[in-house]
Amino acid sequence: MSTKLKNGQSRYQSKAKVVSIKKFQLLTLVNATRCLNDAAFEKHGDAYLEFPVIVQGDGSPSDVFNLYLLKKLEQTIQYDFKTFASIANQLVDFQRFLEDEQLDCLKFHKLKQSNAIFKYRTRLIEQANAGLISARSASNRINAVVNFYRFLVTEDLVDHQRYGIPFKDVYKYIAVDNEFGARQKMAIKSHDLAIHVPAKAPNSEAIIDGGELSPLTVEEQAVILKALQKSSREYQLMFYLALFTGARLQTICTLRIKNLIGCELDSHGFIRLPVGAGTGVDTKFQKPMTLLIPNWLVQDLKIYINSEKARLRRQKSNYGDSDENYVFLTKLGTPFYTSKAEQQKLTEKIKASDSFETRLKIYEGEAVRSYLKMVLLPEIRLIDPQFKSFKFHDLRASFGMNLLESQLQHLPAGHSAMTAVEYVQARMGHRNISTTLQYLNYKSRLQWRSKIQHEYESSLMKYVMSSVNLAGELS
């Protein structure tokens, strides 16, 4: 039996599942008849795309879980289908457990250990210990179920007066850094059924900047660029943008043709491109920032935009052959990454149509990540068989290290290293300077590790009975 299917169904006999409704809208009964098909309804409220519904193993909808999802929808100001899908996928795991164990989630017991949620917690811990799920997944699932029970109690859907609530709320304190790097404590609401997630061992080889990033050495960057020479032009240019501007994949793939038209060079040979909120080019959390693109790369981008290959791709796309279109499109004319603006337009278009069959399709860089893993990395290993795996986002960290190194080498007399750090912070759009300081600390660790490695090898190796050294003495 497979132990790690994406939907988690392999761990249970139950066939309960999540079904996504393409366009979900509540209806109000206007005219009742004897036959439901003849009854008249009118639309009530907004339409919600890709709304999840939990279906039990016998094929019938789960009343209580779907009621919970509807209640959350009623209380939601900004609907996000991915958030609701995540909640539904957490709860359907609990539904499968309930069906397998023949338990009633609405029945509370005086003995805490007899409650369905407590038994589910025990099962999650067992699955995490067996390696079937991660501790983080177990924690997320129990948290989702606790939130579901909070709803049951708030809405008075269970008899909690007799035996009480099957968990207790507690408050925990976590340390957070503000934008100036100062640490402060923040209270968060938790519960006594929380599943502990072991702290991840700090990785001295990584920088935490939107995930664990591993900067590539200049030599490794050179190997990537060499392997890229065999790639198609759009992939070459996307990787160049990441490595020479530090832009995230989301920003690169939502870059529009109009953003590059009429841009003038600054005194250093860059165009200063505003990205983020209001520009049509997405950034993390839509934070406004300025992307500096070197002139040689701007010219290469313009040549590509005017190529027949790029024009044919635009003709297949939603925006057509216009300056509103993305710089980079797939062979099918679809975006590599759907911008926030296009998501909104597509959503409104589907809502306004009478069709309930059109599905909202969102792209989030899957094609680029697949290309890196399946095409580029094998090409790289033809050059260097020992080349380590890397992520597209590591190119951003590599740019940050390259930029910091350059700034430190050309630091004016009398200026501290913080001058260089603050410049890197601005170029990379870091909200907290503590994120940028990791690059400086990473550089220091590399230098220190190299020095220590050399010293201890020099002092200890003379006592090591190495086969290589013995072979040299015998020859």
Helix%, strand%, coil% for the chain, nearest 5 = 50, 15, 35
Q: How far apart are CA 66 and CA 52, in angstroms?
A: 9
Q: How far apart are CA 257 and CA 293, in angstroms?
A: 14
Reported as type and span, the H/E element at residue 53 is strand 40-55
Q: Mean pLDDT highest for which of 8-22, 210-224, 366-380?
A: 366-380
* pTM of the predicted model as reported, rounded to 2 decimal places: 0.79
Of residues 413 and 275, more confidently modeled: 275
Give Cα 339 to chain centroid, integer Å: 15
pLDDT surpasses 90 at 53: yes
Cβ partners under 8 Å of residue 184, min gap 6:
175, 176, 177, 178
The per-residue pLDDT for 1 is: 31
The per-residue pLDDT for 171 is: 83
Query: What is the identity of the amino acid at 346?
Result: L
In CATH terms, the fold of domain 217-383 is hpI Integrase; Chain A (1.10.443)
Average pLDDT, the chain: 85
- Which structure tokens are listed for 285? 């959390």
Average pLDDT of span 104-114 = 87
Query: Helix 233-245 crosses helix 295-305 at what angle (to 10 degrees)?
Result: 160
Confidence band for 459, pLDDT divided at 50, 70 and 90 = low
Average pLDDT of span 130-148 = 94
pLDDT surpasses 60 at 475: no
| Residue 51 DSSP symbol | E
pLDDT surpasses 60 at 137: yes
Which residue reads 């907290």 in tokens?
Answer: 432
Average pLDDT of span 372-379 = 96
Q: Is 186 helix (H, G, I), strand (E, B) or coil?
A: strand
Query: What is the identity of the amino acid at 232?
Result: S
pLDDT surpasses 70 at 218: yes
- Which structure tokens are listed for 270? 């860059």
The per-residue pLDDT for 469 is: 52
The domain spans of the chain are: 9-165, 177-206, 217-383, 394-463
Average pLDDT of span 108-132 = 91
Residues above pLDDT 90, as percent of the chain: 52
